[in-house]
Amino acid sequence: MKFTGTMIVPAVLAALTLAANAQSAPSKMPPERVREERAYAAGVQTAIWGRPFVDNVHTLFAGLKVGAVGLNYYRKFPNLKTAADKFVNTPNNVSIDGYGCADLSIEPVVVSVPTIKENRWYIVQIGDYYDQVVYNIGGSKGAEPGLFLLTGPDYHGPVPAGMKEIKVRTKLAVIANRVFVSGDADLPAAREVQKGFQALPLSVFQKNGLRFEIPKQYEYARFEFKPTAPEALRLFDTIGFGMKTFLSRSDDFGDADVAAAHPIGLSVANGFDWESLDEPTRRGLARAAVTAEAIIEDTYVNAAETVAGWRYTMGGGRAGSDYALRAAMSANLTGANVPEEILYPNTRVDDQGSPLTGVNKYVLRFSKDQIPPVSVFWNLNMYDEKEFFIENDFKRYSIGSTTDGLKTAPDGSITIYIQKDNPGPDKQSNWLPAPAGSFNLTMRLYGAQTPILDGSYRLPGVRKQP
């Protein structure tokens, strides 16, 4: 029987209950052991529930510190990513991006989306700090211009006329904007479009409209996590900081998962009060941290479907109450969108299961009936072992349906040549350069249609050439 994420935590708790009953039948369990096991059971459940906070605590402060994320404003990147970009792993180079963190604990944040005359794909992904997608502006739905008001859990004020409210259940929200670029020649036009996307506090908008200056510096020290608990309890210390930073104080009284964490020293009001815990409780939590991480990793491994070497993980952005799946996605694919917007199949092996290496030559061939069924476009990306683009003389890091000059054969098929050396002038247009050593591939499917989502379509395998 294959356990799903939602089954894992109840299964753990049931096993603990049975074990406790079995041990208590012949002789009563010592009180210290009872406290340890109770903390262990609650700790496993809470560690899995709160795991997205761990990833977001670290990425939020790091992003603000290096200027990769704006606070209540966008930090825009007007250039296509290359092998020189090392801040974000698994980058794409078919869009120019902007990133922001909206601190909704102070006031709402306005997101402005321009009217674009040309037919150009864009998306504004709004996420919460449970690593779940709240709303996508644009994307596969098409153009969606207008003013959007991001409000937090404690906002009960009016929504200005002409704005659409997007309610976020955490005090902070993630804003990620992407604007499609068809190549270097298209950059000037794409940059003009990017200028029209704005994020700003409501009070600034009400005073100056969209005429404003982005602060040169942000006050972000409050987002720095400084651990105080022993190393064995560091996971819960981080979750506690995330609860204080991301959640509303009302969650201490109205959220069942938060309430379940109170007996092990966690609350929105105080974070992780580890010093108040007795030694048996601390021992139980230390064990729980190890178990929870093992469950999360196992969930990630088993959540994917693998076909012809390609791994499909469909839980991005919308795991709901499946906390183990949500934790697994956050730990491995933080910020992933919902699959119908962007799906990210990846592979490290060819169709025979052998690791991909630049020593060999490969092809990825789509027959006419195998071309990915997407409403927007598809794009194949080449990464090294650290998930960064790989430098090459051809300056090509990805290839796909929007690549200028991509050739389709007379029979309607498309063949991608994946190898270190240039395959020659007649095949160069369809060449994705590989390194001398190992590499991996990620296919981005923008606007995945029903055959992809229901599993009836799967990518062909990467085939090694003689």
Residue by residue, DSSP assigns 165-198 as EEE-SSSEEEEEEEEE--SGGGHHHHHHHHHT-E
Q: At 258, is the pLDDT very low, low, confident or very high (cuts 50, 70, 90)?
A: very high
Q: At 86, is the pLDDT very low, low, confident or very high (cuts 50, 70, 90)?
A: confident
Residues 225-244 pLDDT 10s: 999 999 999 999 999 999 99
- pLDDT score of 92: 95
Residues 152-190 pLDDT 10s: 999 999 999 999 999 999 999 999 999 999 999 999 999
Q: At 14, is the pLDDT very low, low, confident or very high (cuts 50, 70, 90)?
A: very low
- Whether the Cβ atoms of residue 170 and residue 150 lie closer than 8 Å to each other: no
- pLDDT score of 418: 99
- Which residues fall within 8 angstroms of residue 85, CB to CB, at 6 or more apart? 91, 388, 389
Residue 18 has pLDDT above 50, yes or no: no
- pLDDT score of 88: 83
Residue 348 has pLDDT above 90, yes or no: yes
Residue 38 has pLDDT above 70, yes or no: yes
- Whether the Cβ atoms of residue 458 and residue 373 lie closer than 8 Å to each other: no
Mean pLDDT comparison of 9-23, 211-225, 285-299, highest-scoring range: 285-299
Residues 278-287 pLDDT 10s: 999 999 999 9
Q: Averaged over 201-210, what is the pLDDT? A: 96
Residues 114-125 pLDDT 10s: 999 999 999 999
Cβ of 222: how many Cβ atoms within 10 Å?
9
Q: Averaged over 323-345, what is the pLDDT? A: 96
- Among the residue ranges 78-92, 248-262, 263-277, the one predicted with the least confidence is 78-92
End-to-end CA distance of the chain: 40
Residues 389-430 pLDDT 10s: 999 999 999 999 999 999 999 999 999 999 999 999 999 999
Q: At 218, is the pLDDT very low, low, confident or very high (cuts 50, 70, 90)?
A: confident
- Whether the Cβ atoms of residue 94 and residue 396 lie closer than 8 Å to each other: no
- Which residues fall within 8 angstroms of residue 456, CB to CB, at 6 or more apart? 450
Residue 5 has pLDDT above 90, yes or no: no
Q: Averaged over 189-196, what is the pLDDT? A: 98
- pLDDT score of 7: 40
Residue 6 has pLDDT above 90, yes or no: no
Residue 24 has pLDDT above 80, yes or no: no
Taking alpha carbons only, the member of 218, 13, 7 closest to residue 102 is 218
Residue 1 has pLDDT above 90, yes or no: no
Residue of 336 and 87 predicted with greater confidence: 336
310 strand-pairing partners: 307
- Whether the Cβ atoms of residue 149 and residue 164 lie closer than 8 Å to each other: yes
- Whether the Cβ atoms of residue 250 and residue 243 lie closer than 8 Å to each other: no
- Rounded to 5 degrees, φ, ψ at 42 are -65, -35
- What CA–CA distances, in Å, run from 94 to 186, 243, 392, 397, 461? 11, 35, 17, 10, 23
Q: What is the DSSP string of 392-452?
A: -TT---EEETTSTT----TTS-EEEEEESS---TTTGGGEEE--SSB-EEEEEEEEE-HHH
| Amino acid at position 276, single letter | S
Under DSSP, is residue 6 helix (H, G, I), strand (E, B) or coil?
Answer: helix
- Rounded to 5 degrees, φ, ψ at 35 are -65, -40
- pLDDT score of 11: 42
Residues 311-322 pLDDT 10s: 999 999 999 899
Give percent of the chain above pLDDT 90: 91
Residue 8 has pLDDT above 50, yes or no: no
Q: Which domains does the chain have, with CATH numbers?
A: 73-208 (2.60.40.1610), 345-464 (2.60.120.1600)
Residue 366 has pLDDT above 50, yes or no: yes
Output the six-digit token pair for 198.
């704005």
- pLDDT score of 19: 43
| Amino acid at position 168, single letter | V
Q: What is the DSSP string of 202-252?
A: HHHHHHHTT-----SS---GGG-----S-GGGHHHHHHHHHHHHHS-TTHH
Taking alpha carbons only, the member of 83, 80, 84, 82 closest to residue 94 is 80
Helix and strand element counts for the chain (H, E): 10, 23
Residue of 169 and 11 predicted with greater confidence: 169
- pLDDT score of 356: 99
Residue 460 has pLDDT above 50, yes or no: yes
Mean pLDDT estimate for the chain? 94
Q: Averaged over 211-228, what is the pLDDT? A: 92
Which strand (E) or helix (H) includes residue 347?
A: strand 346-347
Q: At 27, is the pLDDT very low, low, confident or very high (cuts 50, 70, 90)?
A: low
